[in-house]
């Protein structure tokens, strides 16, 4: 390859200002839980897949998960078409607003900026063919605790001076059908939960409280877990022998305030659980700003599977 060709391949999107949290994510890291390595991956997997779909990418291609925005800005060195889905973080291209859930073209020298959340919490920025990043244990997903994934294989967010490059050259130009695209949650949204084996350890009064009044998304929320505040839930079990924890598991620690365990959760835990949110509900919760009120709604495993399968059909 000539020197000029090498320079061309190195052009990309340069980080000019780092926001609070922008991580390279893909579908996640699976088959390594026995090593104590968590799943990771896009927290709102639905918006993430739509971003890749807009460009005709494989749906698990690495993209950028942007939390809050907070002034994150890029300057492009190369003409490129990107896709933006999920939260409305007041994205602007050279000072002009960019609507979420669309693809758009950037020309060399243009500046892309993410400001503050207007609706939702996490936006997804997809690149032609997916972002270039080293694959570690079968995934490019960033997980901070394990220091895995990302541009520098350390699990850290992108920072000033980082250059994002991509694999593809000729992305598709698609539009999301109006009735099918990502929807950001409003206060009062319902989160279906499949009840777990320890549900009988909670008193009838606690279960009535759990499912018949709203919970508030606490500001103690990150990619590991989301605390819900409300009435204290108490049961006969104070702790259990540690066991594997699925995505969306709703643990109840001794203070009685539920914690929904998300993509970067620990692999085992010893608090009793109400059950686990469905995959679709996990995507919804990932977009809930602190202060949002949510309702836990019992659902059967077959309902959860049907909802998941239905969601998967929209991309085919």
pLDDT, averaged in runs of 10, over the chain (316 residues)? 42 93 96 92 98 97 96 95 97 95 96 96 97 95 93 94 93 89 92 95 95 96 96 86 93 95 94 96 97 97 96 90
Answer for the pair 38, 264: CB distance below 8 angstroms, yes or no.
yes
3-state secondary structure of 282: helix
Q: What is the pLDDT of residue 151?
A: 94
pLDDT at site 80:
95
- State residue 9's pLDDT score: 54
Cβ proximity of 217 and 289 under 8 Å: yes
> What pLDDT sits at residue 2?
35
Per DSSP, the residues of 187-213 read: TTEEEEEEE-TTGGGB-HHHHHHHHSS
Domains and CATH numbers, the chain: 3-164 (no CATH), 189-313 (2.40.100.10)
Looking at residue 11, what is its pLDDT? 82
Tokens 């001794």 appear where? Answer: 254
């Amino acid at each position: 390859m000539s020197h000029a060709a090498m320079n061309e391949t190195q052009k990309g999107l340069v980080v000019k200002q780092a926001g609070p949290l922008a991580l390279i994510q893909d579908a996640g890291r699976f088959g390594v839980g026995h090593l104590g390595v968590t799943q990771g991956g896009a927290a709102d997997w639905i918006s993430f897949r739509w971003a890749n779909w807009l460009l005709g990418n494989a749906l698990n291609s690495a993209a950028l998960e942007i939390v809050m925005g907070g002034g994150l800005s890029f300057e492009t060195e190369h003409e490129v078409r990107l896709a933006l889905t999920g939260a409305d973080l007041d994205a602007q291209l050279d000072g002009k607003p960019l609507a979420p859930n669309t693809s758009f073209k950037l020309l060399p020298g243009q500046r892309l900026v993410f400001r503050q959340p207007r609706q939702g919490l996490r936006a997804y920025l997809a690149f032609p063919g997916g972002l270039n990043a080293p694959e570690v244990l079968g995934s490019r997903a960033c997980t901070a605790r394990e220091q895995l994934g990302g541009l520098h294989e350390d699990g850290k967010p992108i920072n000033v001076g980082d250059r994002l490059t991509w694999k593809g050259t000729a992305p598709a130009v698609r539009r999301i059908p109006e009735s099918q695209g990502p929807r950001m949650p409003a206060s009062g949204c319902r989160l279906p939960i499949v009840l777990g084996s320890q549900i009988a350890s909670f008193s009838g009064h606690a279960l009535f409280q759990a499912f018949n009044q709203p919970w508030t998304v606490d500001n103690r929320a990150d990619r590991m877990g989301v605390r819900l505040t409300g009435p204290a839930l108490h049961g006969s079990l104070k702790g259990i022998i540690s066991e594997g924890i699925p995505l969306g598991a709703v643990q109840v620690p001794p203070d009685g305030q539920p914690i929904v365990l998300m993509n970067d959760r620990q692999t085992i835990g010893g608090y009793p659980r109400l059950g686990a949110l469905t995959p679709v509900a996990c995507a919804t919760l990932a977009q809930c700003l602190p202060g949002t009120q949510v309702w836990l709604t019992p659902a059967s495993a077959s309902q959860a599977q049907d909802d998941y399968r239905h969601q998967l059909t929209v991309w085919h």
